[in-house]
Amino acid sequence: MAGTELEHLIGSLERLRATFAWKAGGLDAAGLSHRLETSSLSLGRLLKHLSRAEDEMFTRKLWGEPVSEPWRSAPWHDDPDWDFTSADDDPPEDLYRLWTDTVGRSRASVLRAVAAGGLDHEGHLGWGGSNVSLRRLLFDLVEEYGRHTGHADLLREAVDGRTGEDPPHTMPWPDPFG
């Protein structure tokens, strides 16, 4: 509760990841594809989109490296929303594996940047003549998860009534520092 700036940023991101995983977890194809009448979002679409957001943030923006598959060869020119729309055809196990594997790579990438310069480590992507810091990228991903975890709250409640702010204590949050 009285940690460093780095511990608070990582802790906030991990809390959002854990809450999102709880909201999206354990569903079959029907549950992952369920949509509300007023929205095109589904939990499956959010799983795939957040996988892309993680990879973009901590691969391309942080290190200037090419994003991984499936993003690298996705038909973005034909479908700019491919990360959302293509999720409808993906089996649940593929969506869960994509998100879990991507989050694992992101955690390793962040730890690499922390070792290389902490929150002030300069990433590859720059705006207005200055490079982006790891701090900024972490804030951006916290914001992305905050928005979509709110969406996941509504979607999961509509699927099976699951509500709550945090996952049960039986689902421990990972400690990326230890």
Single-letter residue type at 44: G
The domains found in the chain, sorted by start residue, are 5-160 (1.20.120.450)
CB atoms within 10 A of CB 9: 20
User: What confidence tens digit (pLDDT) does each residue in 111-147 have?
Assistant: 999 999 999 999 987 666 678 999 999 999 999 999 9
* pLDDT attached to residue 59: 95
- Predicted model pTM: 0.93
Angstrom distance (rounded) from CA 149 to CA 19: 7
130 forms bridges with which residues in the sheet?
127
Cα separation of 168 and 143, whole Å?
23
Segment 33-48 mean pLDDT: 97
State yes or no: pLDDT of 10 exceeds 50.
yes
Residue 103's SS3 state is helix
pLDDT at 50 over 50: yes
User: Mean per-residue pLDDT for 145-157?
Assistant: 97
More confident residue, 171 or 7: 7
How many angstroms separate the CA atoms of 176 and 8, rounded?
12
The confidence score (pLDDT) of residue 177 equals 46
The pLDDT value recorded for residue 91 is: 97
